[in-house]
Chain A
Amino acid sequence: MTEPRLSTYLDEFEDIPGTQVFNTFRSRQGFNLNQFCMSLMKEENRTAFKANEVDYLKDWTLTAAQHDAVLARDYTAMMREGGNIYFLSKLFSTDGQSYLVAVATMTGMSQADYQQMMLSGGRNPKGVRSKKNPEL
């Protein structure tokens, strides 16, 4: 009984557009990337990272895709490679960026347009509830 129930549970989220649920499989995939981000909670590590990013990343055995995504600050790619936003927040905080700015980079919108959308009440859920049923 357990396996069908879990796979149904996980599959159902895949119907939601533009959304990836950080399940235990993705947590495994992103473990080294997320632990690298955690290391930036210490000032001495932030200083070392900022001084030479490539050197600092050598200690973290990231995949090539994770490594390049970090250097490019490509948050969409980092999420795809198993990153989770609360771990990645240590990276954009090290850059002096807010959640608002970092999150907007994943939407394909400009910073100005994203912030204006939020001021106008946020993204309307109509049309982005279900891939199968875009009318919802």
Chain B
Amino acid sequence: MARISAGVTTSHVPAIAAAIDLQKTADPYWAPIFKGFEFSKKWMAEHRPDVAIVIYNDHASAFDATIFPTFAIGCADEYLPADEGWGRRPVPVVKGHAELACHIAQNLILDEFDMTVVNRMDVDHGLTVPLNNLFGHPGPDEAWPVRVIPLPVNVIQYPPPTGKRCYALGQALRRAVESYPEDLNVVVFGTGGMSHQLQGTRAGLINREWDTRFLDLLTEDQVALSRKEHLEYVREAGSEGIELVMWLAMRGALNDTVKEVYRFYHVPCSNTALGHIILENG
């Protein structure tokens, strides 16, 4: 059967995409950020997952203002990098795993998570930056070494789903994956965060203490973490820090007890506190 072996979280800051695409990764500003993922890329190369389920948010790319699906899942064979205002990113086309995705989508709905099924969409920096962080920087004519199931969550239009609901989605996701008969090694990504605010006079907010506690609680007490209310996220981690609810969906898909094998935290990455963690199922 398919099994989830590990979870990864990482911020998905668009400036990382620009730094890669404009070949600035060795600049003094960017070098420490890319260095922070060196271990992670080695770990991923050794871990060799067949499929990555990437929980992320679309940033008004595939979905415009006509529709804000709370939970969606991509069931397509492939996804093109989106044109977010400066042309499509020069990264490989993202290859899906339609059969597993359809299996998961249907099981989630029967498990009372009413997913929006997406048969065609482009994927933006929210998905391609995490792939870069963990799988390196292949060019547009190369291939990502993993098949991907995109799982977009609305965190743009309030109210987004609660942390508790995201955590429960992760638990249902695990049940769905484990009922798939083929032997597949699956990793789950939770992306976005950490503290950042991209609007108003409070823009630039960073809360290292709160972020650190959030990272600690992912292994120490994820159930308590899942009960945090939106108000606390916005007050303490900024209006865009709300993306962190997606990390709880990743966490719900893992064992109750997990091992933290790597952590990286860096300020600043553009307007954002960059956070990254790797958790293995024991």
- A35 is an interface residue with CB less than 8 A from chain B: yes
Would A20 and B86 count as touching, CB distance under 8 A? no
Instruction: Tell me whether A62 is interfacial, beta carbon within 8 Å.
Output: no
Q: How far is the CB of B266 from chain A (nearest CB, A)?
A: 11
- CB-based contact A16/B234 at 8 Å: yes
Q: When A19-B199, A103-B204, A125-B207 are in contact, do A34 and B65 touch as well, CB less than 8 Å?
A: yes
Interface string of B203-236 (1 = CB under 8 A from A): 1111110100000000000000000001100111
B133 at the interface (CB under 8 A from A): no
A-chain residues with CB within 8 Å of residue B87 when the two chains form the complex: 43
For residue A83, give the distance in angstroms from its CB to the closest CB of chain B. 9
The answer to whether B64 and A86 have CB atoms under 8 Å apart is: no
Give the nearest-CB partner of B58 in chain A: A86
Inter-chain CB contacts under 8 Å: number = 158
Residue from the list A21, A23, A89 in contact with B84, Cβ < 8 A = A89
Interface contact B82-A106, CB-CB below 8 Å: no
Residues of A within 8 A of B198 (CB): 85, 99, 103
Contacts A40-B85, A86-B156; A99 near B65 (Cβ below 8 A): no
Q: Check: B3 CB closer than 8 A to any chain A CB.
A: no
Residues of B within 8 A of A9 (CB): 159, 230
The contact string, 1 if C-beta is below 8 Å from chain A, for chain B 84-98, is 111100000000000
- For the side of the interface on A, what is the size category? 35 or more
Contact code string B133-156 (vs A, CB < 8 Å = 1, else 0): 000000000000000000000001
B68 at the interface (CB under 8 A from A): yes
In the complex, which residue of chain A has the Cβ closest to the Cβ of B126? A86
B272 to chain A, nearest CB (A): 9
Which residues of B sit under 8 angstroms from A42, Cβ to Cβ? Answer: 83
In the assembled complex, the CB of A29 is this many whole angstroms from the nearest CB of chain B, namely 11
Q: Is A134 an interface residue (CB 8 A)?
A: no
Closest to A105 in B: B203
Residues of the B chain whose Cβ atoms lie less than 8 Å from the Cβ of A16: 202, 234-235
Distance A122 CA – B198 CA, assembled complex (angstroms)? 12
**Shortest beta-carbon distance from B126 to chain A in Å:** 10
List residues of chain A with CB within 8 A of the CB of B20: none
Q: What is the CA–CA distance of A128 and B239 in the complex, to the nearest angstrom? A: 13
Q: Is B181 an interface residue (CB 8 A)?
A: no
**Other-chain contact of A17, B86, B202, B268 (Cβ < 8 Å):** B202
Instruction: Please give 17 more A-B residue pairs, beta carbons under 8 A apart, in addition to A13-B234, A35-B64, A107-B204.
Output: A16-B234, A18-B200, A19-B238, A20-B239, A38-B64, A84-B60, A85-B198, A89-B60, A89-B84, A89-B85, A100-B271, A103-B198, A103-B203, A123-B203, A123-B206, A125-B236, A129-B236
Top-9 shortest CB links A-B:
A122-B206, A93-B85, A18-B201, A18-B202, A118-B268, A18-B200, A86-B59, A123-B204, A34-B65
